[in-house]
Amino acid sequence: MRMKGKVAIVTGATSGIGRAIAEHFLKEGAQVVFSSLSETMELADPNAFYVKCDVSKSAEVDNLVQAAVDKFGRLDVMVNNAGVGDSHTLVETTDEEWRKIIDINLTGVFYGARAAARKMKELKIAGNIINMSSVLGKVGFFGAISYCSAKGGVVQLTRTAALELAPLGIRVNAIAPGFIATKMTENILENKEFNKIIIDSTPMGHVGDVDDIAKAAVFLASDEAKYITGEMLYVDGGWTSR
């Protein structure tokens, strides 16, 4: 088991990519704190624990990290996965819509990385932080101005944090998924015209599934990646190779 003895937090863990990551971590021997906006989450595994958290609020993220340490005694891995989608162009986007996407998808990642790094430094743990970016953090996409901006910000946040935290032995990397079949993408992928655009833009000819991302997260969280930091791992079926 590649994560035996490690304690991990996964935000946005009630469904989709986040849940898959958290469940794969459990299978690999980790103790895992699942987190999301839901009031409760039923978890039968004694190595799993749930904490409600709004990642756009720094105090709640700090409390989440402390709750993980109070429960399991340490923190080795922080996965900043919580996020929301966007479907507005530049001229259509309101102030409120912009703030919502940036607050959750970028500022929430900053809060999570900061809280984890502070705790790892305090406990003298050479842990690692995994941020969720996107192929849309590298390329533009019509009608997703806020989302692309936030995910691009996550890329630079990751690189800079990796430089700053390397002397502490803390690794910081990001995963950049392509289009993955989840509830968040369900509506757009059901649109035949849009689905064709996605498939035609993906050299491997199909969308990914949540296990593709979860397995990448396990790799980055494990000691197999102990010399990798500041990297963007694109899991996109070749999307960004075009």
CATH number at residue 225: 3.40.50.720
Residue range 159-208, pLDDT digits in tens:
999 999 999 999 999 999 998 887 776 677 777 777 787 888 899 998 89
Secondary structure, 3-state, the chain? CCCCCCEEEEECCCCHHHHHHHHHHHHCCCEEEEEECCCCCCCCCCCEEEEECCCCCHHHHHHHHHHHHHHHCCCCEEEECCCCCCCCCCCCCCHHHHHHHHHHHHHHHHHHHHHHHHHHHHHCCCCEEEEECCHHHCCCCCCCHHHHHHHHHHHHHHHHHHHHHHHHCCEEEEEEECCECCHHHHHHHHCHHHHHHHHHHCCCCCCECHHHHHHHHHHHHCHHHCCCCCCEEEECCCHHHC
pTM: 0.94
**Does 213 map to a domain?**
yes
Show the domain range for 166.
7-241
**Does 79 map to a domain?**
yes
**Does 102 map to a domain?**
yes
What are the tokens at 113?
Answer: 């990385």
Which of the pair, 184 or 41, is modelled with greater confidence? 41
**Does 70 map to a domain?**
yes
**Does 43 map to a domain?**
yes
Residue range 105-153, pLDDT digits in tens:
999 999 999 999 999 999 999 999 999 999 999 999 888 999 999 999 9
**Does 182 map to a domain?**
yes
50 is catalytic: no
Q: Which of 50, 147, 227, 234 is catalytic?
A: 147
**Does 1 map to a domain?**
no
Counting the structural domains of the chain, the total is: 1
